[in-house]
Amino acid sequence: MIIILDRELVDYEFEDIKNVIYLNIASSAIPPRCVKTAYFNYIENQIKTYGKTAISDGRRVLYSAKENIAKLINADPSEIGFVKNTAEGIGIIANGFPFKKGDNIIVCDQEFPSAILAWINLQHKGVEVRTVTFKEGNILIKDIVNRIDKNTKAVVISAVQFTTGFYIDLHHLGDVCRKNDILLIVDGIQAVGRLDIDVKKMNISYLACGGFKGLLSTFGVGFVYCDKSIVKDIIPLSASHLNTKYNYNPPQMDYDFSEIEWHEDSRRFEAGHLNYAGIAAINEASKLINRLGILEIERHIFELQKELISLINELPLKIMTPLKEENYSGIFSIYYPKEKDNEIKNIMDKYNIVATVHNGYIRLGINFYNTKEQIIKVAEAFKEMSKLV
Ligand SMILES: Cc1ncc(COP(=O)(O)O)c(C=O)c1O
């Protein structure tokens, strides 16, 4: 059954970007109306109730957000934990999982720092970091397979690469990891909310995702998904009232000084109170995405990417993104001569296009609120730019 994107709802929610062609989701989202309302309402209620319900409201919204995110990525709500950002999410497993001397981890060489630096940091424990080299914007699964040996413990990868928008086939990679009995650890921030990420079908062991891109929310809040089968192996860095089984009943505290009893699900990553306003934002955003339907969102994004490529393919532009449909993500980039920076930025402004334009490189991030008419305008802008290069 083909579901049709509810355009009226989308236009209502994204009124704030109706006067521009907003193509910067790979950088950050402009939150929709429901997200803005939920974020500010949380604080408003905290003030109005003199804080009486701030914690109970926060806990309620936290559990609701876990359900909505779990639905979006096909997980169980107990497998979702809230964190500050992607880096913190990846750091939790890098530092908390019992990786030991002699183990090796496979990463790709052009990744965003959060998918790489935590692993470089493990080298002091004797963990080896093995790199796979990008080839013209592609990562080949066979290159990953060639790096696997009996000491490989994990493959760490972004679902979508931040520079080129290259999407790696996570179903295939998940199968490779399953067959070799290794963890698949994913930085999901450039994919979740725009692409159909199914952590179970893709055999993803652990995924980290900040809230400010496809999750349409803001900074300082994100989530991790941790498969039930490995969660108890991870020892968090922080321990406090919310991620342990202590009987928290002040004024009399009842400590067992011999050991810590952690929660046995992803609550163990949430030591203390969290950014409940930010979580309220993610709750509404994931509700909206689920309501519109992630399959329909993905289909719409791919259609627009295909349209754009067909319109600009013949132009003399240096397209950086691999053009195979199986690697589409809606993120798309092009090089231009750095000395043309001002002229390129002027053309982007003239057409009201908001995208990343930086250092000889344009990155467009398509999302479900973009329309075919906008894509035609973007192609016109590129036609004009191509005369400069
Ligand atoms: C692939 C990728 N990972 C992570 C981030 C951001 O990480 P964090 O949520 O830790 O700020 C970005 C972009 O900002 C990104 O493109």
pLDDT in tens, 321-379: 888 999 999 999 999 999 999 999 999 999 999 999 988 999 999 999 999 999 999 99
The atom number, within ligand 1, closest to the CA of 26 reads 16
- Number of Cβ atoms within 10 Å of the Cβ of 113: 12
Once rounded to an integer, what is the mean pLDDT over residues 17-44? Answer: 98
Q: Place 3 in a pLDDT band, splitting at 50, 70 and 90.
A: low
Which amino acid makes up residue 214?
G
- Report the CATH number at residue 315: 3.90.1150.10
196 & 242 share domain = yes
pLDDT in tens, 93-114: 999 999 999 999 999 999 999 9
Residue ending a domain, choose from 291, 309, 343: 291
In a domain, 359, yes or no: yes
Q: Whose CA is nearest to atom 8 of ligand 1?
A: 86
The atom number, within ligand 1, closest to the CA of 90 reads 10
In a domain, 57, yes or no: yes
Which residue among 162, 223, 361 has the greatest number of ligand 1 atoms within 8 angstroms of its CB, and so is best to mutate?
162
In a domain, 171, yes or no: yes
Name the 3-class secondary structure at 296.
Answer: helix
Name the 3-class secondary structure at 247.
Answer: coil
- Mean pLDDT (the chain, rounded): 95
Residue 23 has pLDDT above 90, yes or no: yes
Q: Place 246 in a pLDDT band, splitting at 50, 70 and 90.
A: confident
Once rounded to an integer, what is the mean pLDDT over residues 286-295? Answer: 97
Residues with CB under 6 A from ligand 1: 85-87, 112, 114, 158, 162, 187, 189-190, 210, 222
In a domain, 2, yes or no: no
75 & 50 share domain = yes
Spatial distance between the Cα atoms of 249 and 259, rounded to a whole number of angstroms:
19
149 & 243 share domain = yes
344 & 206 share domain = no
pLDDT confidence of residue 383: 95
Pairing of strands 80-83, 331-335: unpaired
140 C-alpha to center of ligand 1: Å? 22
388 C-alpha to center of ligand 1: Å? 32
Which residue among 93, 110, 112 has the greatest number of ligand 1 atoms within 8 angstroms of its CB, and so is best to mutate?
112
- Structural domain boundaries, residue 246: 35-291
In a domain, 137, yes or no: yes
- Report the CATH number at residue 224: 3.40.640.10
187 & 233 share domain = yes
In a domain, 242, yes or no: yes
262 & 336 share domain = no
Q: Whose CA is nearest to atom 2 of ligand 1?
A: 112
Helix (H) or strand (E) segment spanning residue 140: none
pLDDT confidence of residue 137: 85
The atom number, within ligand 1, closest to the CA of 115 reads 3
In a domain, 182, yes or no: yes
In a domain, 89, yes or no: yes
**Percentage of the chain modeled with pLDDT above 70:** 99
155 & 110 share domain = yes
Residue ending a domain, choose from 266, 291, 316: 291
Query: Counting Cβ atoms within 10 Å, is residue 357 exposed (0-12), middle (13-18) or buried (19+)?
Result: buried
pLDDT in tens, 135-194: 888 999 999 999 999 999 999 999 999 999 999 999 999 999 999 999 999 999 999 999
Q: How many domains does the chain have?
A: 2
240, 271 in Cβ contact below 8 A? Answer: yes
Sign, CA torsion 144/147/148/152: negative
Stated pTM of the model: 0.96
pLDDT confidence of residue 253: 81
255 & 195 share domain = yes
Q: In terms of residues, how long is the chain?
A: 389
Q: Whose CA is nearest to atom 14 of ligand 1?
A: 27
Residue 1 has pLDDT above 90, yes or no: no
338 & 197 share domain = no
Name the 3-class secondary structure at 27.
Answer: coil
Spatial distance between the Cα atoms of 85 and 211, rounded to a whole number of angstroms:
7
47 & 24 share domain = no
Which residue among 109, 187, 224 has the greatest number of ligand 1 atoms within 8 angstroms of its CB, and so is best to mutate?
187
Closest-CA residue to 128 (of 104, 151, 107, 144): 104
Residue ending a domain, choose from 273, 291, 309: 291
56-65 contacts at long range (C-beta below 8 A, 24 or more positions apart):
57/276, 58/273, 58/274, 58/276, 58/279, 61/276, 61/279, 61/280, 61/283, 62/274, 62/276, 62/279, 64/283, 65/223, 65/279, 65/280, 65/282, 65/283, 65/286
The atom number, within ligand 1, closest to the CA of 209 reads 9
Q: Which residues pair with 183 in a beta bridge?
A: 154
116 C-alpha to center of ligand 1: Å? 11
pLDDT confidence of residue 2: 53
